[in-house]
Structures are given as C-alpha cells and as structure tokens.
Structure 1
Amino acid sequence: MSALTDRPAAARPVRVGRAGTGWSEAGAAPHLLAGPAGIEALRHGLAPPLAGFLDTGGGGLDGVGPRCLATVAAGGLVLSLTTASVCALPVVELATIAIRHRFGLPPGDLIERIEICLAEALGNAVIHGNLAIPGHLRTSPCGFARFRQVMAERLRDPMLADRRVEIHALRAATNSFTLLVSDQGSGFDLGEQSGRVVPIDARCGRGLDLIRRGCTGLASEDGGRTVRMEFAGPEADRPAREGEQG
C-alpha cells in the first residue's frame, strides 16, 4: 500500500500553502502528514510521496515553524515534533533512514556522520534548549540522578513538553547536504561555546565538539535556536567552518 492509504487512521495529510497562508487539508497532492506522533506515523510521513511529518500533540499545528514551507518547496524533508515526542520515539534512527533513502546517500562515512551530528544536535535542542537543563548536572553519578529527576519533572510541564523541535534536511548540491535542527529555547552563543576546551574524558559538554568534527560547516541561526550543519562527501571534506548567521 502507499504511504497515504496505509497511514495511521488518526493522521491526516496536509498540503503546504504559499508563504503566509499556513496549512490546508490535502487534496490530490498532499506534502506532509500531520497527526499524533508515533513510530508508524513518522515512517509514513517520511516516506515518498510525502515530505515529512507534523506532530499535532499539544497545540495542534500551532508553533510549526515557517521554515517548513521553504524546506518542502526546495525538495527537502521536514520533521516538526514536540519535545515529549522526541524523548519518546527513535527519531534519530527514523530520520537517518529517511534521509539516506530520500537523497540516495550511500552507506558509509557520510551517513554515519549525519547520524552522529543529528543525535547530538537533537539532544542539545531538547535538554539545553526546550527543557533548559544545565549540562553540569551530568558530571557525577549523583548529579546524573538529579538530571534524570529534573528532566522527568520538566517533561510533565505541558508548556515545556509541547515546545517544538524541528529537523530540516536539504540537498545543497550534488555532493553537499544541509541539516538544520531548531528548538524553542532561549538560544546559545556558538562562538562562546566553540571557544571552550572540553577534555576528551568529560562526562558532558562534548556534543558540540562531536558535531564540529562530524560536519564540514557549522553555524547558528535564529539567535542560537537553530544549528545549521553542512556535510560533504569524502572528496570535498574540509575542516568545519563556524559562524553566526541571523
């Protein structure tokens, strides 16, 4: 069956309107699947002919970023999920598989780097962005127990649990690929964070360093609420370039 006829009953296809017009019920050519987030719903939304999935948990489609329109128009892949859904579902695995198949990426170094960077960026967006949990809690076994307690408490707060995390995947050129991860937190200063020296045996704080090593270009946008990662194949690899945009 197709992704449309075999989709979860609670989900519905939506069609992307022109900029400023929002979302409408799908007619003959739906672009995205919207509904309560679940593994099968995400799989269907990420499979052709659809271009992604919009989580309606919490406030319906409220809070879906306007960037989704541009990403779909450019032939990209979109995931807009609540923080609670990201914590409950294997988002990195599902998104990585979809990215590989959608853009025809071969198995190997490139897709492995994309998966690692996506996992780190998504973790930062949830923990430090939407839930605003400080990283120092995870520096000791006692602190880690407190970290888990704080995370559980904040996920029980609907205002925090319903904050959105968005993933945008786009092919930039024949051998170039762009991945963006956005949250609704207070943002961070990429320049300041990049200047920190993190010991290799540190229990926390190494996420940004792993991203820097895994991608070939790194920048932040939206006041530090979006991380833009550029990837290139082996023949185009070069040290990551960092900067602040927007």
Structure 2
Amino acid sequence: MEQRTIFITGASAGFGAAIARRFAAEGARIVATARRADRLDGLRRELGDDAVLPVALDVRDRAAIERVVAELPPAFAEVDVLVNNAGLALGLEPAYEADPGEWQQMLDTNCAGLMHCTRALLPGMVERGAGHVVNMGSIAGSYPYPGGNVYGATKAFVQQFSRNLRADLHGTGVRVTCVEPGLVGGTEFSSVRFGGDDERAEAPYANTEPLTPEDVAETVHWVASQPPRVNVNSVELMPVVQAWGPMRIHRTEP
C-alpha cells in the first residue's frame, strides 16, 4: 500500500476513520473526506500531514464532489482506491409511520452520494487501467427486518450498483467490491439512527460482542491488497453472536 492513494468518504469517525488508520499504517496517502472538518483535522494530526489530506465534503452535493476531485493536489490526484463509506440509517419506524425527510436523506447520502463519488473518480482509474472501488454495503441489503425499509433498500442498491459496475468495467483493470457488515459496535451508527437517544442506541449491542470498526477496516484492506488479477466481488461478515432468524408468521385470534 505504500505510496498508493486512498479516497475515503465519511472518514471523520467509525468505519471511515478506522479504514484511514489501517491504510496509513502501511504508508498509503489518504484523502479523508467528511462533513466535520474538525474531526478530519484531528485525523491529520494523528496520522501526519504527509499521510492525510483532510477535505470537508458533503457527498449529497454533486458539484462539490466534482470540484474536490478536480482540485486534488498532484500528490493525491491519482486515486488508487475509492472507499465509498459515507452513509447513515435514520429511524426504525414502519414505513407507514416513517419520516419522508429521513427517507430522502438516506437516499441522497447512501445512493446518490456514492454514485457521484464513483462517477467523479472512475475516469481516471479507467484511463490508468487500474483502480479499485470499495462500496460499503450492509447485510441489510440482503436480509430485511422491521423498520429497515428505505435503509435496507439503499444498501440493496449499493449491492446491485457494485455488480453492475463490475459489468461496465470488464476489461478495464478496475476492480469493484461490496463489503457488507452485520452488527458493528463502537460507531455513531445507532446514535444517529435514533437521534442521539443513548438508551435506544445502546440497546442493540447489550450483552453482545459485535464486530468493531477495525474488523471492517481489516476487511477493506484485505480486499484491496489482493493481487491485481483478483476481484473480491463481495464480502459479507457478521459477528459470531449474530445469525439469521426464522421467518415471522402472524396468527389471528382463534
């Protein structure tokens, strides 16, 4: 990974920050993007000015994405790995009670933001005949659960978009992987989903040993470290404490 450039969205915390640390540990250059510039500055101070280029970016802003990519300084301009990590879940209400504004925010971030970041960086990868797009999916894209409605649908989009990218990029030398974690602790995911309600946010992890952001970072690093001839199409990972449940059956009163 030495001297390779990794462009990470949502790098201010959680998976993104852990992924930045994992790649930087092997000498990679990191373009760390997120909305919270102060968090990115902290990552730069931690990992070093030469290792991290902090860039304030809201992936919902297509024009901003295009501007950031166009204005990358020479040392960071040739991106080897794009990690589309920015994303969020909001609410856990059934569809008939959900907030349409929250639905739109998930669509704009998880789907549109990922698309536009990919579109902005792909031409350079194709021109160089090398590169890797790593999209952060979720097991929610494969397995539905009550209240998952639009969040799960956005992750199903990430999964299928990744597959279609592979079809489009056949013969270019550019790789695509969808990484699909299950239950992960130690992030802001649940706190964001429940609007900062700490009690609700902590409940899914009570008395469990979930995955960690470092586990996810190690997975991303592994798929990107394979020989150029190897494309890991997708990786699904869960903690041992998690598994599939039975199909639910609703029974009426006799």
TM-score (norm 1): 0.32
TM-score (norm 2): 0.31
Q: Which is richer in helix? A: 2
Higher relative contact order (CA 8 A, sep 6+): 2
